Amino acid sequence: MKRFGILAALFGLAGMAFAADTAVLIQNATILTITNGTVKGSILLQGGKIAAIGDKVLAPPGAQVIDGAGKYVMPGIIDCHSHIMAEAINEGSVSVSSMVGIDDVLNPEDVAIYRALAGGVTTANILHGSANSIGGKTVVTKLRWGTSAEQMKFEGAMPGIKFALGENPKRAGAAAAFGATTTAPRYPATRMGVEDVIREAFNDAKAYQASLAQYKAKLAKNEPAIPPARDLKLEALVEVLEGKRFVHAHCYRQDEILMLLHVADDYGFKIRTLQHVLEGYKVAKEIAAHGAGASTFADWWAYKMEAQDAIPYNAAIMVRKGVLTSLNSDDAELMRHLDKEAAKTVKYGGLSETEALSLITINPAKQLAIDKRVGSLEVGKDADVLLYDGHPLSNFSKVEKVWIDGHEYFDRDQDMNGRSKKAIEKKALTEKAAPAGGGRGGQGFAAGGPNE
Amino acid sequence: MIGKTVRSAQLALLSAGFATLLSAGADDTFMLRGATVHTMSGAAIENGSVIVRNGKIIGVGKNLAVPKDVKVIDGKGLQVYPGMIDAATEVGLLEVNSVRETQDVAEIGKFNPQLVALTAVNPSSEHIPVTRFNGITTVATMPQGQVIGGQVSLMHLDGWTTDEMGVKPRAGLHLKMPAIQTPRGFGGDSGGDAGPAAARSSFAEAKRNLDKEIAELNQFFESAHRYKQAKEAKLPDFRTDLKLEAMLPIIEGKEPVMVTAVKEREIRDAITFAEKQQIKIILCDAVEAYKVTKEIKEHNIPVILGPMLSLPLNEDEGYDQAYSTPAALQKAGILFSLGTLEGKANLASRNLPFQAAQAVAFGLPHEDAMKAITKNAAEIWGVGDVMGTIEEGKWADLMVTDGDPLDARSQIKQLFIKGKVVDLSNKQKDLYEKYLNRP
């Protein structure tokens, strides 16, 4: 295993333990496994995986041993809806933009990654924006801070695509809202039009799929065949039709939710997750019947008309009605306290603590079909693990350490201890940047400097 | 104080699960017995009682005798706290962020001291019952504006009308300290692609604009002084000016100015301005107050911090800067409270207790966090004599909980405003019950 780790590091492969990572044994802790109850004892992270969980686990030679007395261990938080590290969000010039992908614009140096880690997030689904009925392709990432964009990608995770319904795609003068210079209105302008745009796109995708199939059939029979011109826009939609790409659909009102489920049924594909889905509680039965997951906010409301009937009990109702439900952030700030958002579902709707924590761990893992790897503390799963100084649902607790694939990516003590050194470095750099002559002239640069 | 009798919520509307307790709280005279009373003015009283008559607290303590004409409410196993106070928000002025017609937050013009927030508060706002569901009984709701937005109004979250809700309609003037405005690169602090030279020149220009704006502000205050002199001298051609008339209590030091000053420079400018104009100020949304604690303490200026759950202002700051600022102010001995500044970040006023809790996780003692959103807020807004703690003579603004109110897993079991039971139902709870039971 260790040798393999070295190879992985050498070739820059993501998803493997770093060569230098020693095993980590956390002892005497309260271990919230999520899927198998609470264990008072130890957890061993070795070779990038969870190697053991139990009352007593022996430390392998050279292992780092952490006393977890009074502390809590839980799986890394999974955010099913984020836009951090995306250098661009919306290709808003057209209402079907399935040819573009967010995986092309990942910035691995976005400080939001580190801040999210400090809040316990280890995996994030990075989405295109909601300007278009059919948006761009999405990518699942692990927040391996300090690595490359390529290494951030969750290897083997199913790719996705963003859809969006309601106010955002229909917003009149969408061009102006998203910064384009044209003032021509863009179809659609109503929820009816949004449905039509999606149906038209899948109508085209079906035809494209048929011509591809025809071509392949001819080839198989050794008949002369000319391949259809490759269509990158429809290619992604054919992947949706063939179950090779997940649909993550931004939606708010119950009417548009039902509309999309009907469209998907008509064209024979599945909606993997409904995102935001603030009125999901009104049609939970229908969502469950389709088999779609729902990823919502704990208590956001009132920021626009379609969020007027949003209720903080949404997650609880959907859970009770059999919908696979998660909580997401959609926001670099909210992302840092998804644990505290989960706690609200205990207050609003009375979910159990395990149900509440499932909303940010195993449930989003299932929604993204990465639950064999992450989302709970089980032997053999990736060592994506959080150490807290108290119960994760308590508003008085905080994350102390974060591991991804057994590699430590956040340590609060180290963060705190490094601050004075950073301050000295910053002071030196600021002084160096000040123009010759110094004095008050130095303030000039402050426009782009520390105080502004 | 405009507040008149506040309506008593109809008991029938209240949740059946709390029937025994509710049935006793029919009016504003009662004795709450056997609960742990967190007075916020001293140590918690185990198995304590609070006696309320005509909406006012007339007794707090252990083993109190039951006055003969007073109903007894059993508080066994429950916690009693003063109702929470959101020290800066826009509750009542803003219904749907994206719909202009539902906003009455910001007027046109630079100097509008004559505007009063309470005027535009919609007593039927859905935000009111949703907010008090989490134990918030009073808010300071504030107008925004370019420089002087108007008068902050302190109001109870209950009442048939704004007259009934109002506690102190003119609690203080909201002034936004002029700030340096420089062009920003996308997502960062750099001056775009133009480089340091352009950044320097644009900074110099921005600084000139700032100086101009501060000069204008001083001129406005000076015209208020001249107006006062003219008025007192009863000059023959004296004419009432509504803007300057509204400035009189400010320049006379009778009413504070709540100064929004986010960064260090604005905070220092605000302190200098207050000294020059000899006015009482409260710093609001003072994100970088932690850099100026010495001066803030020296000048004895109270601070209303914005949401704890905020990103750092700058990329190179600690990830937990906003979380740990309250502890820094507490250590420096500065009087501070919290405001959710609702319109700022889509954060609802109802999350006030969880904002406070975040500061506890990062070093603020729990008691100081509770005081920040009860006692301190009342003192800062000049109503410490009537609310903020559970003490004799104050209004019975009480929150009864089954646990720690700063922990999201706790429930508010009952809320009293001026001794009256407050209806804890709201649109969201109604929709919950309706759709949970959808066949």
Of B96, B265, B362, the CB nearest to A451: B265
The DSSP element (H or E) to which B79 belongs, if any, is strand B79-82
Q: Do A320 and B265 touch (CB under 8 A)?
A: no
> Which pLDDT tens digit goes with each residue over B46-89?
999 999 999 999 999 999 999 988 999 999 999 999 999 999 99
Q: Do A304 and B357 touch (CB under 8 A)?
A: no
Least confident window among A303-312, A322-331, B150-159, B339-348: B339-348
Question: B411 and chain A: CB distance < 8 Å anywhere?
Answer: yes
Mean pLDDT of all residues in A272-298: 98
Whether the full predicted model's pTM is greater than 0.80, yes or no, is yes
**For B72, phi and psi rounded to 5 degrees?**
-110, 130
Neighbours of A33 (CB within 10 A): 20
pLDDT higher than 60, residue B258: yes
Structure tokens at A157: 């995770």
Q: Name the band, by pLDDT with cuts 50, 70 and 90, for residue B183.
A: low
Residue of B nearest to A109 (CA): B315
Q: What is the pLDDT of residue B182?
A: 62
Residue among A79, A86, A81 at smallest CA distance from A101:
A86
Q: Which B residues in the span 24-63 are in contact with A, Cβ-Cβ below 8 Å?
A: none
pLDDT higher than 60, residue A441: no
> Which pLDDT tens digit goes with each residue over A76-122?
999 999 999 999 999 988 999 999 999 999 999 999 999 999 999 99
Hunting for tokens 């010759």 — which residue is that?
A436
User: Please, what are the domains in chain B?
Assistant: 1-83+388-439 (2.30.40.10), 88-179+238-384 (3.20.20.140)
Q: What is the pLDDT of residue A434?
A: 79
Question: B182 and chain A: CB distance < 8 Å anywhere?
Answer: yes
CB A419 within 8 A of CB B318: yes
> Which pLDDT tens digit goes with each residue over A367-390?
999 999 999 999 999 999 999 999
pLDDT higher than 90, residue A175: no
> In terms of DSSP bridges, do strands A407-411 and B303-305 run parallel, antiparallel, or are they unpaired?
unpaired
Q: Do A449 and B410 touch (CB under 8 A)?
A: no
pLDDT higher than 60, residue B191: no
Q: Domain extents for chain A?
A: 1-76+376-435, 77-374
Q: Which residue has the higher pLDDT, A129 or B195?
A: A129
Which residues in B lie closer than 8 A to residue A317 (C-beta atoms)? 432, 435-436
Q: What is the pLDDT of residue A139?
A: 98
Q: Name the band, by pLDDT with cuts 50, 70 and 90, for residue B200.
A: low
Q: What is the pLDDT of residue A185?
A: 80
Q: Measured between CA atoms, how close is B242 to chain A, in angstroms?
A: 34
Of B99, B202, B348, the CB nearest to A299: B348
- A77-374 homologous superfamily: Metal-dependent hydrolases (3.20.20.140)
Q: What is the pLDDT of residue B27?
A: 76
Mean pLDDT of all residues in A5-20: 44
Q: What is the pLDDT of residue B202?
A: 84
Least confident window among A292-296, B22-26, B157-161, B364-368: B22-26
Mean pLDDT of all residues in A296-316: 96
**In DSSP terms, which residues pair with A153 in a beta bridge?**
A141
Angle between helices A254-267 and A191-220 (to 10 degrees): 20
CB A115 within 8 A of CB A69: no
Q: What is the pLDDT of residue A182?
A: 55
Using a 10 angstrom Cβ sphere, with 0-12 exposed, 13-18 middle and 19 or more buried, the burial of residue A438 is: exposed
Question: B100 and chain A: CB distance < 8 Å anywhere?
Answer: no
Neighbours of A426 (CB within 10 A): 13
CB A294 within 8 A of CB A323: yes
C-alpha angle A62-A68-A73 in degrees, rounded to nearest 5: 100
> Which pLDDT tens digit goes with each residue over A118-152?
999 999 999 999 999 999 999 999 999 999 999 99
Task: For residue A256, give the 3-state DSSP assignment.
Answer: helix
Q: Do B432 and A281 touch (CB under 8 A)?
A: yes
> Which pLDDT tens digit goes with each residue over B320-330?
999 999 999 99
pLDDT higher than 70, residue B345: no
Q: Where does residue A149 fall: left (phi above 0), alpha (psi -120 to 50 degrees), or beta otherwise?
A: alpha
Q: Which B residues in the span 326-365 are in contact with A, Cβ-Cβ below 8 Å?
A: 345-346, 348, 350-351, 354, 357-358, 360-362
> Average per-residue pLDDT in chain B?
90
What CATH topology corresponds to A1-76+376-435?
Answer: Urease, subunit C; domain 1 (2.30.40)
Q: Do A394 and B318 touch (CB under 8 A)?
A: no
Structure tokens at B92: 């009542």
pLDDT higher than 50, residue A443: no
Of A317, A332, A435, the CB nearest to B311: A332
Q: Which B residues in the span 389-408 are in contact with A, Cβ-Cβ below 8 Å?
A: 406-408
